[in-house]
Structure 1
Amino acid sequence: MSKENEFIPKDFEFEKLVKKAKRRSMLKMVLISLSISLIVLTGLYFIGDTVMKMKMEKETSLDSTWNGIMGANIEEQGTTYNYSPISATTKTKLVKKVGGVPIPWGEQEKVFTIFGTSRLITTDGPSGSGSIEDERIPLFYQGERVIEFYHPEVNYKQIFDDRVLLNQIDDNSVVEMAFSFNKGYSIEEVNKVFKDKLAWYWVDTFSKDDIKEHNELNEEENIPRGHTISGFEAYGFQYNNHPKTEPAFNFISILEMIKSDGGNYQNEAIEIYNNITNKGKIKLEPENLKIIGVVVTGKPSDLKKYNDNSMINGATLGATTDQY
Structure 2
Amino acid sequence: MNDFSDDLFDEKKIKKAVRRGKLKIIITVIMISIVVFVVLNIANTTISAHYSEKAFKQWDAYVRLSTPNGYISETVDSKGILGGTSNYEISKDFKIKPVVIERKQYSFGLNSPVLTSRFSGSKIGSKGEDWQFGYKENGWREMMFFHPNVSYKKYKDDEELIERMQGDKIYEVALSFDQPYKPRELFIQLPEMTWFWIDTYSSEQLNEFQQVAKENDWSSTFIGEKDALGFSINRPYISIHDLKGEYEEFLELLPMSISSDHQNAFNKMKDIKLEDVEILGVVVYGTKEELEEILENPNIKASSLGGVIENY
CA distance in structure 2 between the aligned counterparts of 1:99 and 1:11, rounded to whole angstroms: 91
> What is the TM-score when the length of structure 2 is the normalising length?
0.81
CA distance in structure 1 between the aligned counterparts of 2:218 and 2:61, rounded to whole angstroms: 37
Which segment drifts farther, 94-103 or 140-149? 94-103
Picking from 30, 43, 49, the partner of 1:47 is 43
CA distance in structure 2 between the aligned counterparts of 1:16 and 1:184, rounded to whole angstroms: 97
* 1:68 partnered with 2:64: yes
Picking from 184, 187, 198, the partner of 1:188 is 184
Name the larger-Rg structure.
Answer: 1
CA distance in structure 1 between the aligned counterparts of 2:163 and 2:61, rounded to whole angstroms: 38
Picking from 257, 265, 268, the partner of 1:272 is 265
In structure 2, relative to structure 1, the CA distance for the partners of 1:152 and 1:160 (3 Å cut) is: same
> What is the TM-score when the length of structure 1 is the normalising length?
0.79
Which segment drifts farther, 153-162 or 284-293? 153-162
Q: How much has 1:235 moved relative to structure 2?
A: 0.9
Picking from 229, 238, 242, the partner of 1:235 is 229
Deviations 1:4-34 (A, max 9, x none): xxxxxx9995244334333332332233123
CA contact (8 A) 1:201 1:294 kept: yes
* 1:95 partnered with 2:91: yes
CA contact (8 A) 1:240 1:246 kept: no
CA distance in structure 1 between the aligned counterparts of 2:108 and 2:27, rounded to whole angstroms: 34
- Letter aligned with residue 307 of structure 1: L
Secondary structure of 1:140's partner? Answer: coil
CA distance in structure 1 between the aligned counterparts of 2:257 and 2:295, rounded to whole angstroms: 43
CA distance in structure 2 between the aligned counterparts of 1:50 and 1:75, rounded to whole angstroms: 26
* 1:288 partnered with 2:284: no
- Letter aligned with residue 272 of structure 1: A
In structure 2, relative to structure 1, the CA distance for the partners of 1:190 and 1:46 (3 Å cut) is: same
- Letter aligned with residue 41 of structure 2: Y
- Letter aligned with residue 202 of structure 2: S
Q: How much has 1:70 moved relative to structure 2?
A: 2.4
CA contact (8 A) 1:154 1:214 kept: yes
In structure 2, relative to structure 1, the CA distance for the partners of 1:228 and 1:152 (3 Å cut) is: same
Equivalent residue number for residue 194 of structure 2: 199
Secondary structure of 2:195's partner? Answer: strand
Equivalent residue number for residue 7 of structure 1: none
Unaligned stretches of 5+ residues in structure 1:
1-9, 278-282
Give the count of matched residue pairs.
303
Secondary structure of 2:156's partner? Answer: coil
Equivalent residue number for residue 246 of structure 1: 242
Q: How much has 1:42 moved relative to structure 2?
A: 1.5
Deviations 1:281-300 (A, max 9, x none): xx432111110011111111
Deviations 1:170-202 (A, max 9, x none): 2512111111112210123324242x1212110
* 1:26 partnered with 2:22: yes
Equivalent residue number for residue 210 of structure 1: 205
CA distance in structure 2 between the aligned counterparts of 1:148 and 1:243, rounded to whole angstroms: 24
CA distance in structure 1 between the aligned counterparts of 2:78 and 2:219, rounded to whole angstroms: 46
* 1:320 partnered with 2:308: yes
Report sequence identity in percent: 24
Secondary structure of 1:21's partner? Answer: helix
CA contact (8 A) 2:74 2:90 kept: no
CA distance in structure 2 between the aligned counterparts of 1:99 and 1:129, rounded to whole angstroms: 28
